[in-house]
A = this chain, B = another copy of it.
Amino acid sequence: MGQKFAAIFLTVFLTFLTLSSLPAEEGMYPITEIDKLPLKQLGFAISAEDIFSENHVSLSDAIVKLGGCTGSFISPDGLILTNHHCAYRAIQDASTPEHDFLAEGFVAYERSQEFPAKGYTVRITQQVRDVSSQVLQAVRGVDDPLQREKAIEKKMKELVKQAEAQHPGLRAEVAEMFPGETYYLFLYVYLKDVRLVYAPPSSVGNYGGEVDNWEWPRHTGDFSLMRAYVAPDGSPAEYSKDNVPFHPKKFLQIARQGAEKGDRVFILGYPGRTYRHRTSAFLDFEYTTHMPFVVQWYNRQIDLLHKLGANHPARALKFKSRIKGLANTEKNYRGKLQGIRRLHLIDQKRAQEQTILHYIARDAQRQKRYGRVLPQIDSIFTRYKKTARRDWLLGYLARSVDALGLAWTVVKAAEERQKPDLERETAFMDRNFERTKMYAAMRLKNFDAQADKMLLLDLLHMMKALPDSLQIPEVVRRFALNEDEEKTKQIIDTLYARTRITDKETLMHLLTQTPQELQTSQDPAVQLMLALKPVYAALKERNQRRSGALRRLRAQWLKIKKEFLKKDFIPDANGTYRMTFGFVEGYSPRDAVYDHPITTPRGILEKNTGQAPFNAPDALLTLLRKEQFGPYISRTTGTLPIDILYSTDTTGGNSGSPVLNAKGELVGLNFDRTFEATINDFAWNHAYSRSIGVDIRYLLFLLKDYAKAQKLLKEMGR
């Protein structure tokens, strides 16, 4: 299975490198590929089987996907370690008017105090199967890009259904590893009763906030503890007070001595998306068109929400996590833009592509088969550039504007739920619909009509400014974009005065309607989205057609690139289970600067202004000033380590991943990357790609000396 990856480069590894000179390496290795790695030479004290095995208990039994994050079991009773920012919503939900647990921190001294984290699930990878041949069989002879897309989607759904029938209790997913070429089926255990156990106050767990986000040196205690529960018989079950703690097959051992500069570390987890195999046209499109648009639109949203929240504390609280999310992406994209510019990534890619084009042109047969691949990809992006802004604005209309987004879910639900299950969009399949409804309900929680109206008006402004050829007549007409702005404002005011879609009961009712029933709905938001249905349908078709064409072209390009370079590649991250390794090491983020890989209490004391986000609790400051760090002192820095830096290859989704030493013991908790490493999604490089974790010793120190959570420490074997 999967022998295609990780081939020639291994030989190089074994031939030239000695242990001491082994560098950190690019690569989020699919878990099924690590048995090809020379682990011993890389300094590992454990085998591939110790890390992942379908037949034996391995470290992987302790690794979970938790929402969009990673987590790991660290006790026999299902205690899970993940990031503070991954548990953010649960902490917010647990809060009451009397107790803001984001501000105070949350401690369940007893299990009965553990708070059900609604919407959280825990997923453990059980098996992986190569299903490439079945998937590709489905598109053999199909030429139309749209039909190909649909055929692949359908086949993947069938494979899932089939696998789940064969393995009752497990959940299946098919993931595309290489576009149009390799597909894996993953079988997962899902646990649905997850509870919040411990979270430090935000002034520790999110110390430095947006200012320090994506930055090193860092001083954030970004961790939290949760616990997975199952039915008394051990089977996965929804929350019930009768449930019992889950007993994982494996939980991680804590390396109390932590890790020091130069130590080998590795990371297991679920990295989200990377785009390293894309061509220069894609990168150019991102650099010139997509990312600047997102940065602009997100900044507009942030400004607007800040302004609205300025003198309204209650409102500001509602916007907090939304702004946090927007700012996180905005800064990430700025980092990427800087990286592409500084590293001349587009020119680099183009130069490589030129040599491949020359290689292709040297052989008539090759020229015939591959000569048009790159020009075709280029021309797709050239065309896309012209209309992309319109398409995105349309997309954000149903994404950033809650009332319209909910109405769109209602309209889609009515339509999709009529179809046979396998033909529906994923969100509306029986296996997902309950979750879709829950997410819709959760969206209501922070709804603010004023913000919603302002965002809608701003999107309409931008739509109005589009060239005539890109105007969407139905939008222009519905919002009177050809008339005075006052008129548009009036229409919006009326819409929000009349719609009931943001009322939970109404929303839930609407989500059960048939298309015929919806037609008679008087709700103006629903009416609007019904009217825009053809517009969105056309948009979807355009997108599918484009990605169908690109998928096929990218597969061909990868094939010829492989042939030319005579090497195999590691597939881009796609949310599936991966392993990456590196060292605890510093770097030079810019000329004349060297960043050490371990931070110390000095940094917290230096940064602390007493004002958020630099307002560590007084009790913690006092402890840090006392400098009685006992067993947690690093032997290289002589003081308590706070955060650590290492040269692994990570991306979003690796939040909450355990950082493990050569023996597979826990030395840290991954939570971020450096600003320079935001470019990881497009290109990894040993010089600047660094990830950031909480040092396990700071975590233990916080639990013991700050939180006095002795019981939890005991459970963790500390």
Which residues on A are within 8 Å of B, measured CB to CB? 216-217, 219, 341-342, 586, 590-600, 602-603, 606-607, 609
Contact = CB atoms under 8 A, between A and B. Distances in A.
B342 A591 contact: no
Contact of A594 (B594, B597, B602): B594
A626 to B, nearest CB: 16
Contact of A595 (B216, B219, B592, B606): B592
A600 B591 contact: yes
Given A219-B591, A592-B597, 12 more contacts: A217-B593, A586-B592, A590-B606, A591-B599, A591-B600, A592-B595, A592-B596, A592-B599, A592-B600, A592-B603, A594-B594, A594-B595
Contact of A342 (B592, B595, B600, B606): B606
Contact of A606 (B591, B598, B599, B607): B591
A590 B217 contact: yes
Contacts of A607: 590
A598 B593 CA distance: 10
A592 to B, nearest CB: 4
B596 A217 contact: no
Contacts of A609: 341
Contacts of A217: 590-593
A703 B124 CA distance: 65
Contact of A598 (B586, B592, B603): B592
Contacts of A592: 216-217, 586, 595-600, 603
Contacts of A597: 592
A330 B341 CA distance: 31
Nearest to A590: B606
A219 B603 CA distance: 26
Nearest to A600: B591
- Which one of A341, A586, A592, A609 has the highest number of Cβ atoms from chain B below 10 Å of its Cβ? A592
A591 B595 contact: no
The 6 closest A-B pairs by CB, nearest first: A591-B603, A217-B592, A592-B596, A591-B602, A592-B599, A594-B594
A135 to B, nearest CB: 44
A606 B341 CA distance: 9
A594 B591 contact: no
A219 B590 CA distance: 12
26 contacts: A216-B592, A217-B590, A217-B591, A217-B592, A219-B591, A341-B609, A342-B606, A586-B592, A590-B603, A590-B606, A590-B607, A591-B599, A591-B600, A591-B602, A591-B603, A591-B606, A592-B595, A592-B596, A592-B599, A592-B600, A592-B603, A593-B593, A593-B594, A594-B594, A594-B595, A594-B596
A621 to B, nearest CB: 13
Nearest to A594: B594
Interface centre among A217, A341, A606 (most CB of B within 10 A): A606
A593 B607 CA distance: 13
Nearest to A341: B609
Contacts of A586: 592
Contacts of A219: 591
A453 to B, nearest CB: 28
Contacts of A216: 592
Contacts of A606: 342, 590-591
A218 to B, nearest CB: 9
A316 to B, nearest CB: 23
A598 B594 CA distance: 12
Contacts of A602: 591
A603 B590 CA distance: 7
A593 B592 CA distance: 11
Contacts of A603: 590-592
Contacts of A600: 591-592
A318 B591 CA distance: 34
A452 to B, nearest CB: 30
A341 B605 CA distance: 10
A336 to B, nearest CB: 15
A341 to B, nearest CB: 7
Contacts of A591: 217, 219, 599-600, 602-603, 606
A614 to B, nearest CB: 11
A627 to B, nearest CB: 14
Contacts of A593: 217, 593-596
Contacts of A342: 606
A102 B219 CA distance: 43
> By CB atoms of chain B within 10 A, which of A217, A591, A606 has the most?
A591
A602 B593 CA distance: 12
A105 to B, nearest CB: 24
A76 to B, nearest CB: 36
Contacts of A596: 592-594
Max chain B Cβ within 10 angstroms of own Cβ: one of A219, A586, A590, A595: A590
A592 B591 CA distance: 16
A381 B586 CA distance: 48
Nearest to A599: B592
Max count, chain B CB within 10 A of own CB: residue among A342, A593, A598, A599: A593
Nearest to A642: B591
